[in-house]
Amino acid sequence: MSADLPSERVRAKATALGFQRVGVARAEPLDDDHARYVAFLDAGMHGGMAWLAENVAVRRDVATPDILEGARSVIVCALSYHRGDVAQPMPGAAVARYAHGADYHNFLRRRVRQLAAWLRSEFGARARPMVDTAPVLERAWARRAGVGFVGRNGLVIAPGLGSYLLLGEVVTDLELAPDAPAEERCGSCTRCLDACPTQAFPAPYVLDARRCVSYLTIEHDGPTDPTLRASIGDRIFGCDECQEVCPFNRTAALDPSLTRRFEGRARWAGVTPEGLLRMTPEAWNEAARGSPLARAGWRRMARNAATVLGNGGDRRHLPVLRETMTSTSPEVAEAARWAVEALTAEER
């Protein structure tokens, strides 16, 4: 059977499942992308994310027993979660757009699995669906499959959709007609690099996660680097600054009906940073259940909340911060002490 016909059917099926962009790449080794990834690890830029340094060799090639032996094609599906200007659901703090509602993994995983199941039933193919569940370089696959190019901030940018993208992949032994890889279109623009509040990009396309606000507020365990606290500003979970300034996001087509499927009202919506500090760990964990914010856990979120209040300059938060200084969590207590010092600096 010609590779073109099943390719057309695959794209039609993925589109019917709600994906806005679909691309296909040959399952060939990612030599250049893998070399850049290894250099990133060797420089220690992954910080405390030790899992990124695991299964390093596997990330080069999906056609192996670790992913799918005999794989011929990688199908990359993208869905935009950009809904235009939306109000922050946590008063007094900024939460990254992707985390405003329910955990997108559940929504996306169901549809990627449906696509893989359809490939098995329709073509008798072997197919492995993946949504952050396997050691693959998904942005490299998205570029190779023509879904979008990798911008200077390291994120996939799909012209017409922008960079607020959710990605899922299906690796299959079905031979499909590949799409042309996406060509880089940043031109001379450096807005994303210039906008980074912590200057986390030592070079274009290179992110030092140890300085990235998303890493510092979500993945990093322990006290926050004192030299970076003020630059975190009001960001309590994640950061969208390098995306907010991207011209491709300003002209992106919006389809709010798609994201409503997985963006219900979060239980924590309306909780302020001060309110978070007054909650017990159990109460916060219950409020964050089913949300991306659950990943950070109470300790990190409380640490972040204290940092946000310290950066806010409002002395009305001193009582709760002083109470938080007695927290049994060292990083939370330390962040509260720093915030109190920041708010009372003029007194000394």
Asked if residue 297 and residue 184 are part of one domain, the reply reads no
Distance in angstroms (rounded) separating the CA atoms of residues 118 and 120: 5
Average pLDDT over residues 328-335: 96
Q: What is the number of structural domains in the chain?
A: 2
Distance in angstroms (rounded) separating the CA atoms of residues 293 and 298: 9
Sign of CA dihedral 52, 53, 54, 56: positive
Asked if residue 18 and residue 84 are part of one domain, the reply reads yes
Q: What is the 3-state secondary structure (H, E, C) of 323-340?
A: HHCCCCCHHHHHHHHHHH
User: Could you tell me if residue 49 is inside a domain?
Assistant: no
- Cβ atoms within 10 A of the Cβ of 337, count? 16
Q: Is 270 left (phi over 0), alpha (psi -120 to 50) or beta?
A: left
User: Could you tell me if residue 179 is inside a domain?
Assistant: yes
Average pLDDT over residues 318-346: 96
- Determine contact, residues 89/96, Cβ cutoff 8 Å: no
Q: Is the pLDDT of residue 348 over 60?
A: no
3 state SS of 114: helix
> Given this model, what pLDDT does residue 253 score?
75
Asked if residue 270 and residue 325 are part of one domain, the reply reads yes
Q: Is the pLDDT of residue 142 over 70?
A: yes
Identify which of 150, 120, 125, 126 has the alpha carbon closest to the alpha carbon of residue 137. Answer: 150
Q: Is the pLDDT of residue 67 over 60?
A: yes
Asked if residue 106 and residue 188 are part of one domain, the reply reads yes
Q: Is the pLDDT of residue 240 over 90?
A: yes
Between 87 and 277, the higher pLDDT residue:
277
Percent of the chain with pLDDT over 70: 95
User: Could you tell me if residue 210 is inside a domain?
Assistant: no
> Given this model, what pLDDT does residue 1 score?
43
Distance in angstroms (rounded) separating the CA atoms of residues 66 and 335: 42
> Given this model, what pLDDT does residue 87 score?
83
∠ CA(327), CA(342), CA(284), 5° rounding? 35
User: Could you tell me if residue 50 is inside a domain?
Assistant: no
Q: Is the pLDDT of residue 223 over 70?
A: yes
> Given this model, what pLDDT does residue 347 score?
64
Beta bridge partners of 75: 24, 170
Q: Is the pLDDT of residue 50 over 90?
A: yes
Q: Is the pLDDT of residue 259 over 70?
A: no
User: Could you tell me if residue 104 is inside a domain?
Assistant: yes
Evaluate if pTM is beyond 0.85: yes
User: Could you tell me if residue 273 is inside a domain?
Assistant: yes
Q: Which of the residues 132, 225, 234, 255 is marked catalytic?
A: 132
- Determine contact, residues 98/164, Cβ cutoff 8 Å: yes
For the chain, the farthest-separated pair of C-alpha atoms sits apart, in whole angstroms, at 79
pLDDT, the chain, mean = 94
Between 115 and 132, the higher pLDDT residue:
115
Average pLDDT over residues 51-79: 97
Question: Is 132 assigned a catalytic role?
Answer: yes
Q: Is the pLDDT of residue 222 over 50?
A: yes
Q: Is the pLDDT of residue 235 over 80?
A: yes
Strands 235-237 and 94-95: parallel
Helices 330-343, 297-312: crossing angle, 10 deg rounding = 10
User: Could you tell me if residue 37 is inside a domain?
Assistant: no
Query: Which residues form the domain of 254?
Result: 1-27+62-197+238-263
> Given this model, what pLDDT does residue 260 score?
60
Identify which of 303, 293, 289, 287 has the alpha carbon closest to the alpha carbon of residue 338. Answer: 303
The encoded tokens of residue 293 equal 């914010």
Asked if residue 308 and residue 159 are part of one domain, the reply reads no
Asked if residue 160 and residue 74 are part of one domain, the reply reads yes
Distance in angstroms (rounded) separating the CA atoms of residues 106 and 93: 26
Q: Is the pLDDT of residue 346 over 80?
A: no
Q: Is the pLDDT of residue 55 over 70?
A: yes
Query: What is the DSSP code (8-state) at residue 142?
Result: H
